[in-house]
Chains A and B, each alone.
Chain A
Amino acid sequence: MIKVVFNVHAPRQNVYAILTDYAAYKKWVPGCERCDVLSSTGNVTETQVVMNSAKRMELTLRFEAEPIQSLRFRMTKSRDLKGYSGTYRLMTAADQKGTVVIAELEIDAGFMAPKFMVDRMATKALQDTGEALNGYLKQAPSPAVAAPQRPRAEKEMKPRRSKHVLRVVKTQAGYRVWLLGEILDMAARGDKPGQP
């Protein structure tokens, strides 16, 4: 399973809306020649997709969406591939300015194509998809959806534990300095630590 993380400069709702607009895939998904919706029930959609990048492939993909959270897809029929499945998982970026997408893709091309080569192509395909998605959003922005009010960050709300930074103790032998977990002994002038 290949995993790629990319940032999309748009609210999560917009990203979800684009990812689930299957008929529009041909407008932005790299290598997508056609994407026809065959059936749709609730959040499950069956599509007929034609991809034309390294090789022209026709496959039937079933998409299962979990609104604004994730989109799973898996191949149900294809003459060219043995398996094709993956997920887009959406997370609101920590800076609240966009969406972080965790994209996973598994391609089984059978005996004819070595796995390392297929994995490399899958990685490239996911990275290109991330770029294309950002490009598509810039070019044809979907209606802005107000980002939900952000709850105050956990770090701000939680009281911080006290953290010791430095302690200096005057001992009989001189000074003992504790600095961020390390102890240093300093003798008084003319003395050596540990010597009377």
Chain B
Amino acid sequence: MEKQSASVVPGDPALVYEILTGYEDIAEWMPHVAAVKLLAKEGDLVLAEVQMQGQKQRRFTMECIHSRAKEVIWRPVESDIPISQVRWDLAATPEGHCTVSLAIDRRLSLALFSWGGIRFARPRQWLRALRNQVSLFQPGLQLPDSEGEKILEIVETNEGLVCWIRGRKYNLVAAAGEQPR
């Protein structure tokens, strides 16, 4: 049982590839994923442990195989997750964007019914989430119908969080000892 969807994402394939293979940040954008822990990484093979949202005990190991800026394959290992493989294919468009084809191979599993596995495996929803994440990294962020004065902007950069207030730049520093809530 394969579910497929494709979409043009406004970003170059290298950026899309970077987001798809940035496992420690996947929970930021991937629907229903609470946390991802990198277990091991060697060349184009990565092992990551995925924790689902709202299900503290529900973790599974995922084997990830990459082909730079072309293809990303995820395969759950030893899990009752009703997915046998997720495959992302990337291709550059003449406009410099990226066509992303997503194919999710689902397998018959009781988990399909017991923990909302059906809800989890939705290619269109994943592609929407990916588009959104890609948009965060666009250098010239365009807001539709937003002509006016730029009042405030916060950007995460190599220097940390940078804030512009009415064109004046500030570097934000994390408060020592504060844990994210």
User: Which A residues fall within an 8 A CB radius of B?
Assistant: 2-5, 7, 91-94, 100, 102, 123, 154-155, 159-172, 175-176, 178, 180-183
Contacts and interface: CB of A to CB of B under 8 A. Distances in A.
> Closest 5 A-B residue pairs measured CB to CB?
A91-B40, A181-B132, A171-B148, A100-B40, A168-B152
Nearest to A180: B136
B136 A175 contact: no
Contacts, number: 112
B148 A91 contact: no
Interface in B56-105: 61, 63, 77-78
Nearest to B45: A91
Contact of A93 (B40, B147, B150): B40
A154 B154 CA distance: 25
A2 B78 CA distance: 8
Nearest to B38: A94
A5 B156 contact: no
B149 A178 contact: no
Nearest to A7: B39
A3 B130 CA distance: 29
Interface of B: 15, 18, 24, 38-42, 45, 47, 61, 63, 77-78, 132-133, 135-139, 141, 143-158, 161
Contacts of A4: 77-78
Given A5-B47, A170-B149, A176-B143, A162 B155 contact: yes
15 contacts: A91-B41, A93-B39, A162-B155, A162-B158, A164-B156, A166-B154, A167-B150, A168-B151, A168-B152, A169-B149, A170-B149, A171-B145, A171-B146, A171-B148, A181-B135
A161 B137 contact: yes
A170 to B, nearest CB: 5
A7 B155 CA distance: 38
Contacts of B141: 164, 167, 178
B39 A165 contact: no
B38 A5 contact: no
Contacts of A183: 143-144
B66 to A, nearest CB: 12
A100 B47 contact: yes
A147 to B, nearest CB: 14
B151 A169 contact: yes
B40 A163 contact: no
Nearest to A162: B157
Nearest to A94: B38
B78 A123 contact: yes
B136 A166 contact: no
Nearest to B19: A161
A183 to B, nearest CB: 7
B39 A100 contact: yes
Contact of B39 (A3, A94, A167): A94
